[in-house]
Structure 1
């Protein structure tokens, strides 16, 4: 599947007012810093928390038939063969492009944040994604067992990689 072209961040409406605009804002190359917390971890060491840096490539996927309004494909630049994709439906559902076919529901809140919820019999995963600026994206994830016990959480701040404009040469300057 070929990714749809994405507009330059300066050309996008901000904050995004609907799901297609939100997905378009997500497309690009991102530097990420993620802090993870695992409150289910056992032991006396510090393995319950970690921080890691990474680089992500997020591609905008075109909408299709049957209410699919588009999607996102995410590839870690550190693990190029590992790609995940989500396809969003106009009815508030989304589907993962994987063998297990996990899916859930999405909500675009009035504050411009996108919340994704995946529920199973044992767990609930909630991820919230929002932009403070067109090139600064924040994500929080809470994964907990049913019943509300503390589980795992993460917080990521992601900065878009942008190309510097080509230098312009002054009129009459020699090359």
Structure 2
């Protein structure tokens, strides 16, 4: 029997542990509401609660999407009292981190202690799918956000996020490809 963990991870605790690391990320974001508004004859595509969304009058050409590079830090948090799947501390490098605590009943939350100043606490559902992907779902301020995370290789993971407004209209979507930073083994002399 091999000591190598299953790939992709088949259980939530193993999946969370596998996420730990420093990731270089390329994220593309799309303002789907603005695209739909243009297609529907100019109705406002502003996402609920989003001050940076643009009306259809200003969304022209390639302004409906953006791409950015970044670095993401993910730390595995051991389960409280040694029970449950554990959690993750997640956030951009050199920025406040958010703690997410996963429960065996398919729920996750950030709680007050794991929430950066000025950010709302999160609470939602998680599901580890048979294909090895983890889906997070949360409802907040009249909208639903679904994020799916999956690994194509041990050091390459992909994330997609889709937001829907309470009325079912699209909000934003993003896609990220993330490469784990690994250090080269020391060479002996």
- Whether TM exceeds 0.5 here: the answer is yes
- For residues 63-96 of structure 1, the C-alpha deviation after alignment (integer angstroms, 9 at most, x for no partner) is 014964211111312xx13211211000000002
Aligned residues: 158
8 Å contact kept, 1:67–1:90: no
Q: Deviations over 1:19-72 (max 9, x none)?
A: 011001100011000000012342233432100000111100010149642111
Equivalent residue number for residue 73 of structure 2? 57
Q: Is 2:92 aligned against 1:83? A: no
Contact 1:32–1:54 (8 Å) recurs in 2: yes
DSSP 3-state at the match of 2:97? strand
Single out whichever of 10-19 and 117-126 deviates more from structure 2. 10-19
TM-score by length of 2: 0.77
CA RMSD of superposed structures (Å): 1.9
TM-score (norm 1): 0.83
Report which stretch shifted further, 26-35 or 59-68. 59-68
Aligned-partner Cα distance in 1 for 2:74–2:19:
7
Match in the other structure for 2:14: 21
